[in-house]
Structure 1
Amino acid sequence: MAVIRSVIRGVGAHLPKRVMTNADLSKIVDTSDEWIVERSGIRQRHIAGDDELTSTLGAAAARQALVRAGIDPVDIDLVICATATPDRTFPATAVKIQSELGVKKGAAFDVQAVCSGFVYALTIADNFIKAGQSKRAVVIGAETFSRILDWTDRSTCVLFGDGAGAVVLEAQPQHGAREDRGIISTLIRSDGRFEDQLYVDGGPGSTKTVGHLRMNGREVFRHAVQKISGVIEETLVATGYAADEIDLYVPHQANIRILDGIAKKLGVAPEKIVMTIGRHGNTSAASIPLALNTAFEEHRLREGSLVLMEAMGGGFTWGAVLARW
């Protein structure tokens, strides 16, 4: 039976010009390259300049994805930007990106699920496409997390970076079979009981300030391994695939220990996991599309590749998307 699938037509990314190494960080906070690498796997991250906004990064990533997809912006009818660091409280960063791209029809809005934001945004776009409300969508993950960091707190400021990634989705008829291209399965979850484990201590509705990121690292690590492994297993059961049938795992890049823990728990071969944490740090909602773009540029993605994207973020939120390239 014919079905409509959301096929990924193109992927793109954009990183700020400035690179901050661990050595650079050691000049402003009590830390060292050895300490950071041992605990996180991070060696450097990109930091946005004053002229580089979340929308700037997001629009650049989206343009590259559109060029690679061979799709004109006038044919896009949905723009979703996953971000926890919008340019303004309102309007949505997505509408600014929509304008910068030259998209003049359909809808544009932001999604806020922190590090799970790109998975949430893909899920929403897929549902719009399957419902017939959108034919072509740009889905973006873009962050300037450096602007909500406490640069005196070495437990958090060493972990995060800025950047953006994007994909272009297109509605295409498929056969409804295992060999279908496009998004096969989406699964999103949240549990607000843990909202105080990873949060920002500010907001317009509470403190009237932006605030800084705060994190209980030990608890976040424990839940991340458990919840991401769980959602991967749920996705595999729901779709009938075995873990070794997945060609590429593209996880949220939070910490190399989390990635290693998930791989070990599921018995996934290291070479099947895309890891960009060392170069980008944790870029929140941007990390999965940035990693996806890296896999594309390294020719690790081929037509027919089964790709599993998964993440967990503040809230807690978590989820997974299975797609065939």
Structure 2
Amino acid sequence: MPVSNPLNARISAIGSYVPSHILSNADLETMVETNDEWIVQRTGMRERRIAAAEEFTSHLCIAAVQNMLDRYPESLSDVELIIVTTHTPDLPSTPVACMIGAHFGLPAVGAYDLNATCAGFAYAVHTASGLVAAGLHRKVLVVGGDSMSKITDYTDRSTCILFGDGAGAVVVEREDEHPAFLAHHVGSDGSGGKHVYRTGLAEKWQDVQLTGDGKLVQNGREVYKFAVSTVPDGIEQLLSKSGLPSSAIDWFIPHSANLRIIQSICEKSEIPFEKAIYSLEYYGNTSAASIPLALDLGVKDGRVQAGDTLLLYGFGGGLTHAGVILRWG
């Protein structure tokens, strides 16, 4: 079936980074009332990586870009714009994107941060491919990174077992001969913002009194309900826009929130679970980094090959969700 209106853009490079320190399920057993079997059964997670005390989101993102540069030496040449997606920036008013530009000697390029929490990477790739296809830029650096350990309450066993730190980077650039972006879909449900949040300048949203003292607060049951009802519908819309059947998807790369969520989404979307690539088992939920980390795992171990059709889908706080279908390589 022909694809309608593909965008003249492609992903041409990828890199990733996770901190060296491992927080295992066994470690968590010494911190809160939990155990390895319970965590694995309910989340699929065994380990997560934790940033050092003086290691922040900018450091994770810079390391991911450096990893990309080591593997694709020309990846930063002629970059015109940097988009970083994160909700844990080092500083409230200094974009991580600017920090990356300064580090790599790209101070004159456009740079901004985008916050769509765990859906951020899909939103950022959506934005970058649109800007490139529209001719506003020819080459955009997209980085997704979060330091979730900095905002996690390690006395709350319902959330501290979930989160880890990491970053992933890609380059989106113009491609006229073989357009690779086949479909996009974005959405949100702002009424559900009270189910995943952390306090900032305000401690009240609409009529809801917020708690958490700056740490992440999550109603896991409500997030699960949102994901398993919203994402399959979004996938259906993506397939309709692309003109592709679900069988044409070679790899499904969702946000790595929880293995049970991914299994349910696959079942409802008629995508074999064996086609899902996720990063949660050894990295945990890394928010905006989870999709690029999973994608890079697939690239490194040879599952993802040039010409493969990928479906990326993120969902998270806001509540936000976004997906894209693209051809790799």
For normalisation by structure 2, the TM-score amounts to 0.92
State how 1:36-75 maps to structure 2 within 5 Å: 36-71=39-74, 73-75=76-78
Superposed displacement of residue 84, structure 1: 0.8
Superposed displacement of residue 43, structure 1: 0.4
1:203 — aligned with what? 200
Match among 185, 188, 213 for residue 187 of structure 1: 185
**Take 1:311 and 1:140, find their aligned partners in 2: how far apart are those partners?**
15
- Segments of 5+ residues of structure 1 without an aligned counterpart are 175-179
Q: Which amino acid aligns with 1:195?
A: G
**Take 2:256 and 2:89, find their aligned partners in 1: how far apart are those partners?**
20
**Take 1:68 and 1:146, find their aligned partners in 2: how far apart are those partners?**
28
**Take 1:100 and 1:305, find their aligned partners in 2: how far apart are those partners?**
33
Which secondary structure state, in structure 1, belongs to the residue aligned with residue 26 of structure 2? helix
**Contact 1:204-1:210 within 8 A present in 2 as well:** no
Which secondary structure state, in structure 1, belongs to the residue aligned with residue 8 of structure 2? strand
**Contact 2:10-2:129 within 8 A present in 1 as well:** no
For normalisation by structure 1, the TM-score amounts to 0.94
Q: Which amino acid aligns with 1:111?
A: L
Superposed displacement of residue 210, structure 1: 6.8
**Take 1:26 and 1:138, find their aligned partners in 2: how far apart are those partners?**
39
Matched, 1:310 2:307: no
Which secondary structure state, in structure 2, belongs to the residue aligned with residue 28 of structure 1? coil
**Contact 1:69-1:168 within 8 A present in 2 as well:** no
**Contact 1:74-1:102 within 8 A present in 2 as well:** no
Matched, 1:263 2:261: no
Superposed displacement of residue 263, structure 1: 1.1
2:81 — aligned with what? 78
Matched, 1:294 2:294: no
Q: 1:165 to 1:72 in 2, by over 3 A?
A: closer
Which secondary structure state, in structure 1, belongs to the residue aligned with residue 260 of structure 2? helix
Q: Which amino acid aligns with 1:257?
A: R
- Segments of 5+ residues of structure 2 without an aligned counterpart are 205-211
2:275 — aligned with what? 272
**Contact 2:6-2:181 within 8 A present in 1 as well:** no
Match among 250, 253, 275 for residue 253 of structure 2: 250
Matched, 1:125 2:122: no
Q: Which moved more, 1:99-108 or 1:281-290?
A: 99-108
- CA deviations on 1:210-248 (whole Å, 9 max, x unpaired) are 701111111110110111111111000111101110111
Matched, 1:98 2:95: no
**Take 2:174 and 2:325, find their aligned partners in 1: how far apart are those partners?**
16
Matched, 1:221 2:218: no
Superposed displacement of residue 99, structure 1: 1.1
Q: 1:3 to 1:263 in 2, by over 3 A?
A: closer
Superposed displacement of residue 69, structure 1: 3.4
2:150 — aligned with what? 147
Which secondary structure state, in structure 2, belongs to the residue aligned with residue 46 of structure 1? strand
**Take 1:288 and 1:29, find their aligned partners in 2: how far apart are those partners?**
28
Q: Which amino acid aligns with 2:102?
A: S
Among all aligned residue pairs of Structure 1 and Structure 2, give the percentage whose two residues are the same amino acid. Answer: 39
Q: 1:104 to 1:237 in 2, by over 3 A?
A: same
Match among 21, 24, 32 for residue 21 of structure 1: 24
**Take 2:44 and 2:175, find their aligned partners in 1: how far apart are those partners?**
39
Superposed displacement of residue 2, structure 1: 10
Q: How big is the alpha-carbon RMSD for the aligned residues of Structure 1 and Structure 2?
A: 1.8
Matched, 1:156 2:159: yes
2:168 — aligned with what? 165
- CA deviations on 1:34-61 (whole Å, 9 max, x unpaired) are 1111110100000000232101110111
**Take 1:67 and 1:136, find their aligned partners in 2: how far apart are those partners?**
18
**Take 1:48 and 1:198, find their aligned partners in 2: how far apart are those partners?**
22
Which secondary structure state, in structure 2, belongs to the residue aligned with residue 231 of structure 1? helix
Q: Which amino acid aligns with 1:245?
A: A
- CA deviations on 1:6-43 (whole Å, 9 max, x unpaired) are 21111110001100000001111111111111110100
**Take 1:20 and 1:75, find their aligned partners in 2: how far apart are those partners?**
39
1:283 — aligned with what? 286
**Take 1:7 and 1:266, find their aligned partners in 2: how far apart are those partners?**
25
Superposed displacement of residue 73, structure 1: 2.8
- CA deviations on 1:236-286 (whole Å, 9 max, x unpaired) are 011110111011111100000001101111222222110221111100000
**Contact 2:43-2:258 within 8 A present in 1 as well:** yes
Q: Which amino acid aligns with 1:182?
A: A
